[in-house]
Amino acid sequence: MSIRRKVFVIILLLFVLLGGANFLIQRLIIFPSFLELESREASENLQRIRYAIEREIIHLDRLCRDWAIWDDSYDFIQTRSQAYIESNLGDSTLESDRLNLLLFCRLDGSIVWGSSLQDEQRLPFPFFKTQKVSLDHPLFSFLKEDNQQSSSGIIDSPFGPLLFSTQTILRSNNIGPGIGYLIMARLLDASAVESLKEQTRIPFQLRYPLEANTILCGSIDNGFHLNTEKLSFIELNTGKYIQSCFGYPGITGKPVFGVEYLFPREITRKGIASMGYAAALVIALGICIIVILNLTLQKVVMQPLKRLTDHAQLIEQQKDFSRRIAMRRTDEIGLLAQSIDTMVQTIGKQTNELQLANEQLIILSVQDGLTSIANRRMFDSYLSKEWHRAMREQTPLSLILLDVDFFKHYNDTYGHQQGDRCLIAIAEIMQKHIRRPADLAARYGGEEFALILPNTENKGACKVAEGVRQGIQDLHIEHRTSDVSAHVSVSLGVSTIIPQVTEHNQSMHDFIELADQHLYQAKQSGRNCVHS
């Protein structure tokens, strides 16, 4: 058989294999990816709906807070001023702020003033009969938590899902003590749902009331039930649509209502059509390629090129720049092979040099040049990472700030070189007192140092701080110009926090500022001590 026929047979077989592979890829990879894309987009639309509802709660919470932290509201609880009622508490206020319920309560839950309105009709909430809202009511859920002055969310009411915000009434300068509570609420009724549809541009449906065994998606035979223990999205492929839904949790954690959305399966339909066009194009191009290659390709060209290609791909995959093809030819392919070998050799050499340089740069970028512990840049990065981890896992995070007492006097007396040796010795003591891989000792700046202690209570952090303080004292580094000790001593400030994921959560900057305040108090207390 001639080489030309061999090439033709090989190309034909390759074309058949290509067609089969193309079919399998379309059915096993591309088509499922369309389904996944549809499912993801349907899920993202559900998330948009959920975020829209949460935004309504946030807006309501901000409005309620603006009213609650106001001297006029504070005085109204005490005086029940008629002028305040006439100026602020008319039906027009409820209508303009889209409120269905507005309550002013004392600390025992008794109602000072209240009003409810929907479509110009009064809503007979049960607590209007007793003129008191029980402190066990979900509206006061924040009372079960320490140091909480407000709560917001959704509860089930006799008139449907109710978005609410409860705020402690304080003075305008946000100073207490709290004198009562302000409750604002908004029904998630048909008009509110239409507003959410306009915001999200998603034609969803609200399922209410919602019992524990309510079926949100699919039929009873399919068994798609709402999971009341864990909020989850439920999806069901039904012909032309993906039926997707979720249950929205109330303030108690149990779903109050369901959201259902039919997502058109246009992506899959167009994807199938595109795959058909692609398959036809592949077949047509394949036939043309077979004819052309059968006429032009020769073994003397194909094999060397394939060898070169395989060699280049192998180097790319294995990153082995020591490989050489060593093809002994005097034509253009031979020259190309020699050029590739030369280029690979150069790349290998430069890659090794670059890798060594990068390793040195990484070390220099995070290490303090004098003490060889973490520098300020590494401190900021690591604290940010552990802050978000503690916020996510709700674990304590401790920070110790350390300052050398009268270090300027020390430098002036013993010289900067001796001062540098003193800082190095202090850094070594800090390293000895952190035994967990997650703990970090860093030079904060000048004679200031810091210790980051993830998942550490304040008591444990204070123990570490005291150990560092005593360890530095035990070095017996002479400091005759110190006002507190004959030897070098340090003052330490300790702060511990469990970051909260709330609108008013304490920032990382506040956390550092708190440790700095404790450090200042340690200095004010006579230095050479730990304050937390």
**pLDDT value of position 375:** 93
pLDDT above 60 for 218: no
Whether residue 160 contacts residue 187, with contact meaning beta carbons closer than 8 Å, is answered with yes
Q: Which amino acid is at 20?
A: G
Distance CA 396, CA 481 (A): 39
107-126 mean pLDDT: 93
Number of CB atoms found within 10 A of residue 401's CB: 24
Whether residue 347 contacts residue 399, with contact meaning beta carbons closer than 8 Å, is answered with no
Q: Which amino acid is at 333?
A: I
511-519 mean pLDDT: 95
Residue 175 CA to chain centroid, in angstroms? 32
Same fold, 1-185+265-293 and 376-531: no
Q: Which of 80-89, 260-269, 431-440, 523-532 shows the lowest mean pLDDT across its residues?
A: 260-269
pLDDT above 60 for 103: yes
- Tokens in use for 463? 């123990």
**pLDDT value of position 234:** 46
Give the pLDDT confidence of 406-432 residue by residue, as tens digits: 999 999 999 999 999 999 999 999 999
**pLDDT value of position 435:** 80
Give the pLDDT confidence of 275-327 residue by residue, as tens digits: 777 778 877 877 887 767 666 666 666 677 777 778 778 777 777 777 777 77
- Ranges of each domain in the chain: 1-185+265-293, 298-358, 376-531
pLDDT above 90 for 133: yes
CATH number of 376-531: 3.30.70.270
Whether residue 257 contacts residue 231, with contact meaning beta carbons closer than 8 Å, is answered with no
pLDDT above 90 for 390: yes
381-404 mean pLDDT: 94
Distance CA 257, CA 214 (A): 10
Whether residue 241 contacts residue 263, with contact meaning beta carbons closer than 8 Å, is answered with yes
- What does DSSP assign to residue 143? G
**pLDDT value of position 186:** 96
Give the pLDDT confidence of 342-357 residue by residue, as tens digits: 887 788 777 777 777 6
pLDDT above 90 for 263: no
482-502 mean pLDDT: 90
Distance CA 217, CA 263 (A): 13
Cβ burial, residue 40 (10 Å; 0-12/13-18/19+) = exposed
Whether residue 261 contacts residue 43, with contact meaning beta carbons closer than 8 Å, is answered with no
**pLDDT value of position 281:** 82
Number of CB atoms found within 10 A of residue 88's CB: 15
**pLDDT value of position 26:** 74
Query: Position of tokens 């030819």?
Result: 329
Sheet holding 397-404, edge to edge: 440-445, 448-454, 397-404, 490-497, 530-531
Which residues partner with 374 through β-bridges?
367, 442
pLDDT above 90 for 399: yes
**pLDDT value of position 247:** 84
129-136 mean pLDDT: 94
What Rg do the C-alpha atoms of the chain give, in angstroms? Answer: 36
pLDDT above 60 for 225: no
pLDDT above 70 for 359: no
pLDDT above 70 for 54: yes
157-168 mean pLDDT: 94
- Tokens in use for 287? 């036939």
Residue-wise DSSP of 289-324? HHHHHHHH--HHHHHHHHHHHHHHHHHHHH--TT--
Distance CA 67, CA 84 (A): 12
Query: Position of tokens 């193309």?
Result: 22
pLDDT above 90 for 252: no
Whether residue 216 contacts residue 254, with contact meaning beta carbons closer than 8 Å, is answered with no
- Best CA proximity match to 256, nearest among 169, 373, 159, 376: 159
**pLDDT value of position 216:** 54
Task: Provide the percentage of residues in the chain whose pLDDT is more than 90.
Answer: 53
Distance CA 217, CA 32 (A): 21
Q: Which of 52-66, 111-125, 229-243 shows the lowest mean pLDDT across its residues?
A: 229-243
**pLDDT value of position 213:** 54
pLDDT above 90 for 27: no
Residue 152 CA to chain centroid, in angstroms? 22
- What does DSSP assign to residue 29? I
Please give the residue that has the higher pLDDT: either 365 or 201.
201
pLDDT above 90 for 185: yes
Half-sphere exposure (CA, 13 Å, Cβ side) for 452? 25
- What does DSSP assign to residue 505? P
Distance CA 528, CA 492 (A): 8
- Best CA proximity match to 386, nearest among 518, 463, 498: 498
Q: What is the pTM of this model?
A: 0.49
**pLDDT value of position 226:** 41
Beta strands 241-249; 205-207: pairing state: unpaired
Fold of 1-185+265-293: Beta-Lactamase (3.30.450)
24-34 mean pLDDT: 79
